[in-house]
Amino acid sequence: MDKLGIVFALTGAVLAALMSGVGSAKGVGMGGEAAAGVITEDPSKFGKVLILQLLPGTQGIYGLLIAFITLSQIGVLGGDSNMSLAKGLLYLAACLPMAIVGYGSAIAQARASVASISVVAKKPEQFGKAMIFPAMVETYAILALLISILAITGIGGINI
């Protein structure tokens, strides 16, 4: 049983990258579909809709970030990978905010992005405002990222 700690810790790291990545992939895909529609009408809007399409992509990066920090903390990338079961479970729990909020917020943000892309299609001069709506959703991904980072870096110091 003692060997299971690292298993759970790695599961956490993988989940963070996996779920956020899937969410972002779906989100950027949704944005891409809407953006492609705009381009058929007016190719000159490419730059603007591309930015809006990319906005839900950040969750995937945050997921990667958490996964990477976890991997380097638990010693998978070299170092000592021995840890107690409790510690492994702690790492798993610490990764969950990013995994779950990352997935959900990427898709919610993509919906806002799609709506903003249609704003740009009709009123390109309102790009500045349109960009803010998806960015509002991202706040929650950032909060989850924050908690995950603080938790993961904190776990190292706990002695169990």
Partner 1 sequence: MAVLKMQRICICALKKDRKHILELLQRCGVIELNDVLQEDGVFRKTDVFAAVNGFEKNIALGKSALEILEVYSKEEKSKLSVLNGREEVPAQEYDEFQIRHDEMVHASKHVYDLEKKIAEGKAEILKQKTQIEVLSPWVTLDIPLLFKGTKETAAFIGVLPGEWTLERIYGQLADLDPVNVDIISTSVEQTCIFVLCTKEKESSVSDELRAAGFSYPSIAGSKSPAEMIRDLENHMAVTEKSIQEAMDEIRKYAARREEFKFFTDYETMRLEKYGVLSGLLQSNSVFVLTGYIPQEEAEGLAEKLNERFTLHIEFEDPDEEEDVPVKLKNNGFSAPLIGTVESFSLPGKNEVDPTMVMSLFYYVLFGLMLSDAGYGLIMTAGCGWALIRYKDRLEDSMRNALKMFLFCGISTVFWGVMFGSYFGDLVDIVSETFFGQKVTIPALWFLPINEPMRMLVFSMALGCIHLLTGLGMKLYQCYKQKDFKGMLYDVIFWDLLLISCILMLLSMEVFVNTVNLSFILPSSVSRVAGVVALISAAGITATNGRESKNPFKRFLKGLYALYGITGYLSDVISYSRLLALGLATGVICSVINKMAAMTAGIPLGAVVFTVIVVAGHALNIAINALGAYVHATRLQYVEFFGKFYEGGGRKFNPFGVHTKYYKFKETMKNG
Binding positions for partner 1, rule: CB under 8 A: 51, 54-55, 57-58, 61-62, 64-65, 68-69, 77, 125-129, 131-132, 135-136, 138-139, 142-143, 145-146, 149-150, 153
User: How near is the Cβ of 7 to partner 1 at its closest, in Å?
Assistant: 23
Q: How far apart are CA 106 and CA 149, in angstroms?
A: 19
* Closer residue to partner 1 in complex, CB, 1/125: 125
Question: Can you say how many angstroms the Cα of residue 132 is from the centroid of all Cα atoms in its chain?
Answer: 18
E-only strand ranges, the chain: none
Question: Mapping DSSP to helix (H, G, I), strand (E, B) and coil, where does residue 2 land?
Answer: coil
Reading the block at residue 33, the tokens are 């579909």
User: How near is the Cβ of 42 to partner 1 at its closest, in Å?
Assistant: 16
User: How near is the Cβ of 62 to partner 1 at its closest, in Å?
Assistant: 6
